[in-house]
Structure 1
Amino acid sequence: MIKLEHLSFSFPQKELYTDVSFTLEEGQHCAFIGTSGSGKSTLIEILMDPDKHLYDGKLTIDPDCSIGYVSQFSQVDPTQHMTVFEYIAEPFNKIQDELTGIYAEMATTSDMDAVMEKYQLALDAFNAMDGDNFENVINKQLNLANLMNLKDLDVTSVSGGEFKLIQVMKEMISRPDLLIMDEPDVFLDFENLNSLRKLINSHKGMLLVVTHNRYLLNHCFNKIIHLENTEIQEFDGRYIDYNFYLLQTKIELQEIAVAEREEIERYDGIIDNLREIATYNSEASRGRALKARVRFQERLEARRIKAPFVDIKQPKITFANGPELEDVAVINVEDYGVSFDELLLQNVTFEIKSTDKVAIIGPNGTGKTTLLRDIFRNEHEAIRINPDAKIGYLSQLQGETLKDSNTILHEFIDAGFDTYDEIRAHLLHYGFEGEILEQKIESLSGGEKNMLQLAKVAAAEANVLILDEPTSHLDLYSQIALEKAVQDYKGAILMISHDFYSVVNGMDYVLIIDNKSIRKMTMRKFRQMIYNRHFSKDYLHNEQQKKAVELKVEQALKNENFELAKVLLEELEAIIKTL
Structure 2
Amino acid sequence: MIKIDNLSYSFPLKDLYNKVSFTLEENQHCAFIGASGSGKSTLIDIIMDPERYMFDGKLEMDPNCRIGYVSQFSQVDKTKEITVFEYIAEPFIKLQDEISSICSEMGTSDDIETLLEKYQEALDAFEAIDGDDFESNINKKLNLANLSEHKDRMISELSGGEFKLIQVIKEMLNNPDLIIMDEPDVFLDFENLNSLKNLINSHKKTILVITHNRYLLNHCFNKIVHLENTEVQEFDGRYIDYNLSLLQTKIELQEMALADEEEIARNEALIDILREKATYNADASRGRALKARVKIQERLEANRIKAPFVDIKQPYINLVTNNEIEETIALKVEDYSVAFDEVLLENVNFEIKSTDKVALIGTNGVGKTTLLKEIFKNNHQAIEINENIEVAYLSQNQGEALNESNTILQEFYDTGFETYGEIRRYVGKYGFDADILTQKIESLSGGEKNILQLAKVSASRANMLLMDEPTSHLDIYSQMALEKAIEDYKGAILMISHDYHFIVNCADYVLFIEDKTIRKMSMKKFRRMIYANHFDRDYLEIEQKKKTVETNVALALADTDFERARTLSEDLEELIKLL
Q: In which range does the TM-score fall when normalised by the shorter chain?
A: over 0.9
**Structure 2 residue matching 1:285: 3-state secondary structure:** helix
User: Percent of counterpart pairs with the same letter?
Assistant: 67
| Equivalent AA in structure 2 for residue 539 of structure 1 | Y
Aligned counterpart, 1:345: 345
Q: Would you say 1:85 and 2:85 are equivalent positions?
A: yes
For the residues of structure 2 that align with 1:540 and 1:471, how far apart are their CA atoms?
18
Aligned counterpart, 1:45: 45
| Equivalent AA in structure 2 for residue 295 of structure 1 | K
Deviation of 1:275 after TM superposition, in Å, equals: 2.5
The within-5 A match list for 1:68-79 is: 68-79=68-79
Assess, with a 3 A threshold, how the Cα gap between structure 1 residues 141 and 296 changes in structure 2: closer, same or farther. same
| Equivalent AA in structure 1 for residue 479 of structure 2 | Q
Q: Would you say 1:228 and 2:237 are equivalent positions?
A: no
Deviation of 1:110 after TM superposition, in Å, equals: 4.2
Contact 1:317/1:485 (8 A) holds in 2: yes
For the residues of structure 1 that align with 2:444 and 2:366, how far apart are their CA atoms?
29
Aligned counterpart, 1:284: 284
Deviation of 1:497 after TM superposition, in Å, equals: 0.7
TM-superposition CA deviations, 1:153-181 (whole Å, max 9, x none): 11111111101100110001111001011
Q: Return 5+ residue gaps in structure 1 as ranges.
A: none
| Equivalent AA in structure 2 for residue 413 of structure 1 | Y
For the residues of structure 1 that align with 2:359 and 2:152, how far apart are their CA atoms?
33
Q: Would you say 1:418 and 2:421 are equivalent positions?
A: no
Aligned counterpart, 2:29: 29
| Equivalent AA in structure 2 for residue 405 of structure 1 | S
Contact 2:260/2:305 (8 A) holds in 1: no
Deviation of 1:440 after TM superposition, in Å, equals: 1.3
For the residues of structure 2 that align with 1:59 and 1:110, how far apart are their CA atoms?
42
Comparing 508-517 with 424-433, which one deviates more in the overlay? 424-433
Aligned counterpart, 1:461: 461
User: How many residues in Structure 1 have an aligned counterpart in Structure 2?
Assistant: 578
**Structure 1 residue matching 2:402: 3-state secondary structure:** coil
Aligned counterpart, 2:154: 154
TM-score (norm 1): 0.97
For the residues of structure 1 that align with 2:430 and 2:546, how far apart are their CA atoms?
28
**Structure 2 residue matching 1:209: 3-state secondary structure:** strand
**Structure 1 residue matching 2:456: 3-state secondary structure:** helix
TM-score (norm 2): 0.97
Deviation of 1:104 after TM superposition, in Å, equals: 4.2
Give RMSD over aligned pairs. Answer: 1.6
For the residues of structure 2 that align with 1:200 and 1:547, how far apart are their CA atoms?
26
Comparing 2-11 with 61-70, which one deviates more in the overlay? 2-11
Aligned counterpart, 2:452: 452
Aligned counterpart, 2:312: 312
For the residues of structure 2 that align with 1:276 and 1:210, how far apart are their CA atoms?
56
| Equivalent AA in structure 1 for residue 208 of structure 2 | L
Q: Would you say 1:56 and 2:28 are equivalent positions?
A: no
For the residues of structure 1 that align with 2:528 and 2:224, how far apart are their CA atoms?
30
For the residues of structure 2 that align with 1:281 and 1:404, how far apart are their CA atoms?
65
For the residues of structure 2 that align with 1:96 and 1:566, how far apart are their CA atoms?
62
For the residues of structure 2 that align with 1:461 and 1:33, how far apart are their CA atoms?
32
Aligned counterpart, 2:577: 577
Contact 2:320/2:490 (8 A) holds in 1: no
Deviation of 1:375 after TM superposition, in Å, equals: 0.4
Q: Would you say 1:99 and 2:81 are equivalent positions?
A: no
The within-5 A match list for 1:510-525 is: 510-525=510-525
Aligned counterpart, 1:19: 19
Deviation of 1:471 after TM superposition, in Å, equals: 0.8
Q: Return 5+ residue gaps in structure 2 as ranges.
A: none
Aligned counterpart, 1:356: 356
Deviation of 1:270 after TM superposition, in Å, equals: 2.2
For the residues of structure 2 that align with 1:246 and 1:132, how far apart are their CA atoms?
47
**Structure 1 residue matching 2:57: 3-state secondary structure:** strand
The within-5 A match list for 1:429-448 is: 429-448=429-448
| Equivalent AA in structure 2 for residue 170 of structure 1 | K
Aligned counterpart, 2:503: 503
For the residues of structure 1 that align with 2:318 and 2:500, how far apart are their CA atoms?
21
Aligned counterpart, 2:270: 270
**Structure 2 residue matching 1:89: 3-state secondary structure:** helix
Deviation of 1:119 after TM superposition, in Å, equals: 4.1
For the residues of structure 2 that align with 1:111 and 1:69, how far apart are their CA atoms?
36
For the residues of structure 2 that align with 1:116 and 1:215, how far apart are their CA atoms?
50
TM-superposition CA deviations, 1:109-167 (whole Å, max 9, x none): 6473x655554443343233322221111111111111111011111111111011001
Contact 2:88/2:166 (8 A) holds in 1: yes
Contact 2:38/2:228 (8 A) holds in 1: yes
Contact 2:19/2:231 (8 A) holds in 1: yes
Assess, with a 3 A threshold, how the Cα gap between structure 1 residues 25 and 118 changes in structure 2: closer, same or farther. farther
Deviation of 1:537 after TM superposition, in Å, equals: 1.2
For the residues of structure 2 that align with 1:96 and 1:245, how far apart are their CA atoms?
51
For the residues of structure 2 that align with 1:509 and 1:79, how far apart are their CA atoms?
39
For the residues of structure 1 that align with 2:477 and 2:552, how far apart are their CA atoms?
19
Q: Would you say 1:202 and 2:202 are equivalent positions?
A: yes
Contact 2:509/2:523 (8 A) holds in 1: yes
| Equivalent AA in structure 2 for residue 382 of structure 1 | A
For the residues of structure 1 that align with 2:386 and 2:140, how far apart are their CA atoms?
51
For the residues of structure 2 that align with 1:26 and 1:567, how far apart are their CA atoms?
38
Deviation of 1:204 after TM superposition, in Å, equals: 0.8
Q: Would you say 1:252 and 2:252 are equivalent positions?
A: yes
**Structure 1 residue matching 2:471: 3-state secondary structure:** coil
For the residues of structure 1 that align with 2:36 and 2:409, how far apart are their CA atoms?
19
Comparing 316-325 with 538-547, which one deviates more in the overlay? 538-547
| Equivalent AA in structure 1 for residue 420 of structure 2 | Y
Deviation of 1:507 after TM superposition, in Å, equals: 0.6
Contact 2:9/2:15 (8 A) holds in 1: yes
Comparing 90-99 with 309-318, which one deviates more in the overlay? 90-99
| Equivalent AA in structure 2 for residue 290 of structure 1 | L
TM-superposition CA deviations, 1:398-426 (whole Å, max 9, x none): 22221122111111111111211111111
**Structure 1 residue matching 2:568: 3-state secondary structure:** helix
The within-5 A match list for 1:324-403 is: 324-403=324-403
**Structure 2 residue matching 1:19: 3-state secondary structure:** strand
Deviation of 1:192 after TM superposition, in Å, equals: 0.6
| Equivalent AA in structure 2 for residue 266 of structure 1 | R
Contact 1:322/1:390 (8 A) holds in 2: no
